[in-house]
Amino acid sequence: MKKQKLRASDMALVGMFAALMGIGANITSFAPFLQIGGIPLTMQPFFCLLAGLLLGRRLGALSMIVYALVGLIGAPVFASFSGGAAAFLKGSGGFILSYIPAAYAAGSITDRKSEPGTGHFFTASFIGTLIIYVIGVNYMYLAFRTWLDTPIAYPHAWGMMTWFFIKDLAFSVLLAALASKVYRAVQKAGGFRRHTTF
């Protein structure tokens, strides 16, 4: 299958979702009450999966790669307006990395259908959410047990993230309904094309 070339509009969409990730990471800066135990809630999983669902696996994953690289070089796009390589060494660093395969997986599910339905969007967002937490929590556990020298039990690592997981599962339902409507509206308007090769 011939790989589609990226258009200027494709790159604009990639940049837009990378920017939305930066905004989603710092939503508590605008709504300080959105915290649990001092840990800020974010909208990153929502925007990550929305990118995959709407743009497809190629552009969705690319937007997450751009987001991670922009933060890696020091731009303050991660939580608490942080940036740099040090962010990947924190317990939450695995979540940043998880967004790439999560967006790719979510996009892969909807890419298989020429006209994906709400059920496909729900399955894609649910699986994407699971990928984010499986990678993110296991990375956090590894970080605490090794270079952060803060040993915790494996069940406790998951326990710490329970409310965040519930929040993002609830958002996956909203996301599926929203993405389905937006996708159809954009397709009818002759909007962007999905890239199904990577």
DSSP assignment of 139-177 equals HHHHHHHTTT-----HHHHHHHTHHHHHHHHHHHHHHHH
Which residues, listed in sequence order, are joined to residue 78 by a DSSP beta bridge? Answer: 82
188 is written with which tokens? 């009818």
H/E segment holding residue 35: strand 35-36
**CB atoms closer than 10 angstroms to residue 37:** 6
Q: pTM higher than 0.85 for the full model?
A: yes
Is 195 part of a structural domain of the chain?
A: no
Q: What are phi and psi of 145, to 5 degrees?
A: -80, -20
CA distance 35 to 146: 27
Average pLDDT over residues 26-34: 72
Residue 32: per-residue pLDDT: 66
Q: Which of 114, 108, 123 is nearest to 193 (CA)?
A: 114
* CA 117/CA 179 separation, integer angstroms: 10
63 domain-assigned: yes
Domain-embedded: residue 194 = no
Is 155 a member of any domain? yes
What is the domain extent for residue 57?
A: 8-188
- Return d(Cα 87, Cα 130) in angstroms, integer: 22
- Residue 41 is assigned to a structural domain of this protein: yes
Task: Give the other-Cβ count within 10 Å of 117's Cβ.
Answer: 13
In a domain, 13, yes or no: yes
Q: Which of 27, 97, 101 is nearest to 67 (CA)?
A: 97
pLDDT digits (tens, 9 = 90+) for 144-173: 999 998 889 999 999 989 988 998 999 898
User: Is 99 in contact with 63 (CB distance < 8 Å)?
Assistant: no
- The pLDDT of residue 186 is 72
pLDDT tens digits, residue range 76-106?
999 889 999 999 999 999 999 999 999 999 9
Which pLDDT score is estimated for 52? 95
Does any domain span residue 182? yes
Q: Identify whether 1 is part of a domain.
A: no
- CATH classification at residue 168: 1.10.1760.20
Number of independent structural domains in the chain: 1
pLDDT higher for 160 or 61?
61
Q: Which 3 state secondary structure label does DSSP give 4? A: coil
The answer to whether 169 touches 126, Cβ cutoff 8 Å, is yes
